[in-house]
A and B are shown apart, each in its own frame.
Chain A
Amino acid sequence: MMTVLLISMGLIFMAVGLYGTYKYKNFYTRILISAKIDIIGDITILIGLMFKHGISFFTMKLILIFFIILIINPLTTHIIVRSAYQSGYKVRKDLI
């Protein structure tokens, strides 16, 4: 029961993240929202799966993936925004 609850919550977070991606016209707002909420969705789904499989070899690998996602996802988003900003990608004031 806990698994289904957590995984559906993760999927709802993903849906909100995707909606944020399409709602905002400004790139910087868009990537802020989608990256942040996307990671939360991933984490919730992984924790939901951990509940499903209990203490087993499967859960150990899930914990490894959990930490890989925690480290790499923000890093990638930062690098994308940094490359956008340093290449001089300015956004019109009225879009923000």
Chain B
Amino acid sequence: MSLFIVIVVFFITLSILRVIIGPSIWDRLLGFNLVSAKLLILIVLLASYFQSSLILDIAITYAVLGFIGTVFIATYIQKRGRL
């Protein structure tokens, strides 16, 4: 079980690498979207590793709020600052 967590953390670092490399802004947004999706899976895996369903509440709120953040950044960039 802990091996899966280590692998997901490795995938998150690869996504962060995509955020750093990304030639255009939208590549960085794609990387940010990937990171938040994988982070969600990491929290879910940790919740099942620690056998506590309280941590899953964090995953639910993060699932909604993390992606809303990406949505607002995308619209901010699209409207070039005049949100």
Chain A contact residues (Cβ within 8 angstroms of B): what range?
Answer: 35 or more
Instruction: Count B interface residues, CB 8 Å.
Output: 37
Looking at chain A's contact residues, the main secondary structure is helix
Distance in angstroms between the alpha carbons of A62 and B77 in the assembled complex: 33
The answer to whether B26 and A89 have CB atoms under 8 Å apart is yes
A75: chain B residues at CB < 8 Å are 67, 71
Q: Are A14 and B11 in contact (CB under 8 A)?
A: yes
* A-B contact list, 26 entries, CB within 8 Å: A14-B8, A18-B15, A21-B15, A27-B27, A30-B27, A30-B30, A42-B37, A46-B41, A49-B44, A49-B45, A49-B48, A61-B59, A65-B40, A65-B44, A65-B59, A65-B60, A73-B37, A73-B67, A76-B74, A79-B75, A80-B29, A80-B30, A81-B26, A83-B74, A83-B77, A87-B80
